[in-house]
Chain A
Amino acid sequence: MLTLAFALVFFYAPNDADQGFIFKIFYVHVPLAIVALVGFVVAAVFGALHLRSQESKWDMRSYVTIHISVIFAVGVLVTGSIWARASWGHWFVWDEPMLVSFLIVFLLYATYWPLRFSIEDKEKQSRYASVFAIVAGAFVPLNFAAVRMAESFTHPQTATTTTSAPASVTLTFLVALAGMALLFVTLCKYEMASKHATFRLRALRRRLAGDEDELSMTGRSAAPQL
C-alpha cells in the first residue's frame, strides 16, 4: 500500500507550481503528522480503558501506540524541517504551526519513558503512565489549536490545497494517508507481538529455573508487563 502511495507520489502527482519537486515531501509529512496525532489521542483512549478495567493489556496498547506515535512525530519533525529548508532556507521555522506543535508534543511525550522508568511498583507505573497518556492526549489537540492561532499561515495551506487541488493530488494524498495509517497499525501489531514473545520467554525461563515466585532476574524495564 505504501509502495503504491510512493509510486503515485513520484510518477502521478504533478509538481507544485512554485515549489517543484520538493512539494512531494508533503505526501509523507502531512500523513505522518495526521497519523501521529490520531495515535496520541488513541493512546489516551487506551489509557482511559486501562484505568477503568485495570487490565494490563490496555496499558500495553497505550504504551505501544505512544511509542510508535513518537517515532512518527520524529518523522514529522525531520520531513518538516527538510521541507522548510527547501522552501524557506531554514531548518526550523517558528511561524510554521505544524513544526512548532510537534516539537512541543515530542518534548512532552519524550518524558513518558523517564516517568515509567522511575516508578518502581509495576502496577503504579502503568496507572501513572495511563494518567499521563490521558492528560497528554487531551493536550495534543489543544496545543495545536493554540499554536495555530498564534502563528501566521505562511505555509501552503493543506486544507485549501487538498480541496481546490486537482484530483490527482487529492487521490495521491489519500492513498499516502491510508498507507501511513496501515504502516502505523502494522508497526504497533509487530511491537505488541514482540513484547508478548519476550514476556512469554521470560516466564518460561523462570519456570525452567524452578522459581515461580522469585523476582525476574532480567533487570528492570519500563515496558509494561502482562
Chain B
Amino acid sequence: MPDPAPALVLRGAGRRYGERAALRDVTLELEAGRTLVVFGPNGAGKTTLLRMLATLLRPHAGEVRVLGRPLPGDGYAVRGRIGFLGHEALLYRELSGRENLRFHAKLHRVAAGRVDEVLDAVGMTARCGDPVAELSRGMVQRLAIARAVLHEPELLLLDEPLANLDPAAAAQVAPLIGVGGAGPSDRRTRVVTSHDPAGGLQGADVALGLKGGRVALLAAATDVEPAQIAELYR
C-alpha cells in the first residue's frame, strides 16, 4: 500500500564539512513511488545528499524527513527500509559474494533463500563463491546492487548505479532497481544520481540539478531539456 505522506521532505537542508558547505538550502518533496534523478558535476553535493538521506551523514541545517520520519532523530526507524548503493560496494574483499550477502541478510533479518534469489537476479550465481577481491569491477557492482535490494527496501538511493556495467549487465539489473527506462514492476521510491542527461531522465519523474552544493534546477522530468542539464556542467 503506498504511503500517503511524501517519501522525502527536505526544507532548507544543509551539510558542512568543517567550514566548507557541501550542501546548502535544499528544499524538495518527493511523493512515494516516484523517481528523482540528481544531476551535477563532481563535488556538487550529490553523494552528500544521498548519504544524508541514507542516515549515514547527519544534516547540519534544515529539516529532513525520510519515509515520514525526521532525521537524524528517527534514523533507527528508517534504516532497514532504505537500500543504499554508493561509490563503494560495502563488501568485504576476502569474503565471497554469497558470504557477504549472507552477512547482510542476517543483519537485516532476511531469510537466507533471498540471497540466492538476488544473486540469480543480478546474474552472479556462477561466481558467487569467489572472493570479492578476485572479481571484476562490473561484477562487484552487480553484487553491490544485490546487496542494496536484498531487504526489499521502500526507498532506493542509487549513486550512479550503472557505473562499470556493460550494456548487457545494465539491462539485466535494470528491472531490479528500475533505472534506464525498464519499467519497474513495483513502484518504489528512488533517488538516482546520473551524469547522462538522456538516460538519467528516462523513467524519472522529477529532476534535480545541483551546482556548488545549491539547487540549480528542480522541475518535472518531462519539462527538462538536456541542454539545461548540460548547463550544470559548464
Residues of A within 8 A of B (CB): 120-123, 213, 215-216, 225
Contacts and interface: CB of A to CB of B under 8 A. Distances in A.
Interface string B1-41: 00000000000000011111100000000000000000000
A213 B21 CA distance: 7
B140 to A, nearest CB: 27
A123 B18 CA distance: 6
Nearest to B60: A123
A120 B19 CA distance: 12
The majority secondary structure among interface residues of chain B is strand
A222 to B, nearest CB: 13
A55 to B, nearest CB: 13
Contacts of A225: 19
Interface of B: 16-21
A215 B21 contact: no
Contacts of B16: 123
A-B pairs with lowest CB-CB distance, top 8? A122-B18, A215-B20, A215-B19, A121-B18, A121-B17, A216-B19, A213-B21, A213-B20
A128 to B, nearest CB: 14
A199 to B, nearest CB: 11
14 contacts: A120-B18, A121-B17, A121-B18, A122-B18, A122-B19, A123-B16, A123-B18, A213-B20, A213-B21, A215-B18, A215-B19, A215-B20, A216-B19, A225-B19
B212 to A, nearest CB: 9
Contacts of B17: 121
Contacts of B19: 122, 215-216, 225
Contacts of A123: 16, 18
A216 B19 CA distance: 8
B72 to A, nearest CB: 10
Given A213-B21, A225-B19, 12 more contacts: A120-B18, A121-B17, A121-B18, A122-B18, A122-B19, A123-B16, A123-B18, A213-B20, A215-B18, A215-B19, A215-B20, A216-B19
Contacts of A121: 17-18
B73 to A, nearest CB: 12
Nearest to B20: A215
A11 B17 CA distance: 58
A121 B22 CA distance: 13
A62 B16 CA distance: 23
Nearest to B21: A213
Nearest to A123: B18
Contacts of A216: 19
A120 B20 CA distance: 13
B52 to A, nearest CB: 14
